[in-house]
Chain A
Amino acid sequence: MIRAENINKVFSGRHKNVQALKNISLKIKEGEFLSIIGSSGSGKSTLLLTLGGMISPTSGRVFWKNDPIYEWKLNKRADWRGQTIGFVFQTFNLLPYLNVYDNVQISLGLSARNGKNGEDVLKILDRMGLSDRLEHVPSELSVGQQQRIALARALVKDPQLILADEPTGNLDPITASEIINVLKEVNREGKTIVLVTHDPHLAKLADRTIKIVDGELCAI
């Protein structure tokens, strides 16, 4: 489904260059639940953003169904991202001035809608147990509820691939397991999940785990 081929990413600094990814090759199958573990600064997030079409690699290529995404024009890549990828972040990244409904609906507004509309927003929020919180702004909700909004925002457009960066990093164990359960449920429905975490126990819930050390891939 998505394939990375000899990816290198070098960030140019004032004093020295930093190589975040070193010759990474990776293949993710459709419907797979893959976890990526590694310590802080190992390059996990950079790999996730590269797979999501957000950061172009210094060298190497990323293929979506055998089509190299970084050879597409920016607008085509944005369309693909909006239609195909659902991002979930550790810090939720909700828009603080929008209410729950609008925070989810904006995802449809920015992407090709995949035939989705306002009713789908209500359905996904109902599934996340947030039907009675539609008019609330994120600051009025618990962190668990905020992450569920973020998950709803990623899922509402029915993406094929979900890229989750430490989605439970800011949550208590019970709420974290709720979020993981949702991800597993979504995976069972056929979605491909890439979960970045530094928690080995969480990583074990995935079908396959890979480890990144200093930008290099190490199979487990």
Chain B
Amino acid sequence: MTYAMTFATETNSDIRGLDNLSPKLSIPIEIRGRKTVLTGILPKNEFKSKATWQGILGVFSKPEGCGTIADIPGLTDSKKNQVRKRVVDDLAENAVLVGGDIAQILGLKEGDALDMLNKTFRVEAVLPMTGTVDDNRIFAHLHTVQVLSNRKSALNVIEIIGCCSEISKGLIQKLNKLLPDAKVVTITQIVSTQINTNKMMNNLSLLLLIIIIVIGGAGIANYMFANVYERRREIGILTAMGAKPGWIVKLFLLKSLLIGLTGGIIGYILGTLIAIVLGPKLAEIPVLPMPILAVYGIIISVLVSLTASIWPIVRATKVDPHVIMQEE
């Protein structure tokens, strides 16, 4: 009997179209000084719901209902049906699956021992990168996590795969009615929320970038104005010796270019170092250097520096020659 069938039976409901249920209990833990999340899962259900996990441990899932299976390179449909999958029905009490990122950070590989919550576990497998929060999680059997956290029978999430036809017939409303204390949300809603959050963060980042560029540009403009003022006598002397306005412009443009280049390079190095150090501490996200950002950073800082210097440089070509006649 599947978990979905058990659910339907035990809740005494007439809900149809539940293809798979993946109950979970997640608890925060700390391993070797690093905060992460331990998630209790029912392996068979979890593997069935996660296409990206299929294929590890030689685990293949047979399509059931309207669920999908992952495309595994080199495996034809006929072979998929022939292979009577070595399905991991259960994770041993001391076995864990480790997300790709956290495995990289902790240096874990298949077969390693891992101590947490006063218990030693064995790394059954390192999960493939999914680009989701799962990459930073450790997975153990649901019952093991419930026992270790003293929260017997507790769950905080149930992921449900529903058949499309039944969803359109009101599966969500039925689940809402059945579980009044739970919040039932569809993947579409979650994705939509995530997209909105990402949009908001992008807009916020853009706003921050504009503010930084404006402040940086104003700083450079101010510096260049001060520099032109300080050097007005020098500009006058050079002009008296035959320097053309274009030569004066080139001189200050070169200075502005060097400021932009230096700022871009130092900014990239400092920004990357800060992100590498603070990223894991504040956002629990490992950060790797991105050399392409150096190119963007240098281009932007040079453009900002040159733009901010235009007006001061124009002023440099209009220095009053009387300044060279005055006492210092």
Contacts and interface: CB of A to CB of B under 8 A. Distances in A.
Given A74-B245, A78-B245, A165 B240 contact: no
Contact of B234 (A45, A87, A95, A112): A95
- How many chain B residues sit at the interface, stated as a range, is 20 to 34
A165 B236 CA distance: 14
A85 B240 CA distance: 8
Interface stretch (B141-149, B198-206, B320-328): B320-328
Given A75-B246, A93-B233, A95-B234, A107 B321 contact: no
A181 B302 CA distance: 52
Contacts of B244: 74-75, 78-79
Question: For the complex, would chain B's binding face be called helix, strand, loop or mixed by DSSP majority?
Answer: helix
Contacts of A93: 233, 236-237, 240, 324
B247 A55 contact: no
Contacts of A87: 240-241, 324
Given A78-B239, A78-B243, A49 B325 contact: yes
B325 A111 contact: no
Interface string A80-102: 01110101011101010000000
B243 A91 contact: no
A54 interface: yes
B242 interface: yes
A107 B243 CA distance: 9
Contacts of A74: 244-245
A78 B321 contact: no
A64 B43 CA distance: 97
A49 B241 contact: no
B240 A81 contact: yes
B238 interface: yes
Contact of A82 (B233, B234, B241, B321): B241
Nearest to B233: A93
Given A55-B321, A75-B246, A91 B327 contact: yes
A52 interface: yes
Contact of B240 (A45, A52, A83, A112): A52
Interface in A63-84: 74-75, 78-79, 81-83
B227 to A, nearest CB: 14
B321 A49 contact: yes
A87 to B, nearest CB: 5
Given A93-B237, A95-B234, A110-B247, A45 B242 contact: no
B52 to A, nearest CB: 64
A83 B324 contact: no
Nearest to A154: B241
Interface string B284-328: 000000000000000000000000000000000000011011111
B237 A95 contact: yes
Interface string B174-206: 000000000000000000000000000000000
Identify which of A52, A55, A110 gathers the most chain B CB atoms within 10 Å of its CB: A110
A90 B245 contact: no
Identify which of B238, B246, B324, B327 gathers the most chain A CB atoms within 10 Å of its CB: B324
A154 to B, nearest CB: 9
Nearest to A196: B325
Contacts of B241: 81-82, 87, 106-107, 110-111, 153
A175 B246 CA distance: 38
Contacts of B234: 95
Contacts of B328: 91
A68 B243 CA distance: 20
A19 interface: no
A137 B241 CA distance: 19
B325 A165 contact: yes
A91 B326 CA distance: 8
B242 A110 contact: yes
Interface in A129-143: none
B238 A45 contact: no
A88 to B, nearest CB: 10
B242 A82 contact: yes
Contacts of B245: 74-75, 78
Interface of A: 45-46, 48-49, 52, 54-55, 74-75, 78-79, 81-83, 85, 87, 89-91, 93, 95, 106-107, 110-112, 153, 165
Given A54-B240, A111-B242, 19 more contacts: A45-B322, A45-B325, A49-B321, A49-B322, A75-B245, A78-B243, A78-B245, A81-B240, A82-B242, A83-B242, A87-B240, A87-B241, A87-B324, A89-B325, A91-B325, A95-B234, A106-B241, A110-B247, A111-B241
22 contacts: A48-B325, A54-B240, A55-B322, A78-B243, A78-B244, A78-B245, A79-B242, A82-B243, A87-B241, A89-B324, A89-B325, A91-B325, A91-B328, A93-B236, A93-B240, A107-B242, A110-B241, A110-B242, A111-B241, A112-B242, A153-B241, A165-B325
Interface of B: 233-234, 236-247, 321-322, 324-328
What 9 A-B pairs are tightest by C-beta distance, nearest first? A82-B242, A111-B242, A54-B321, A78-B244, A45-B325, A87-B240, A93-B237, A110-B242, A110-B241
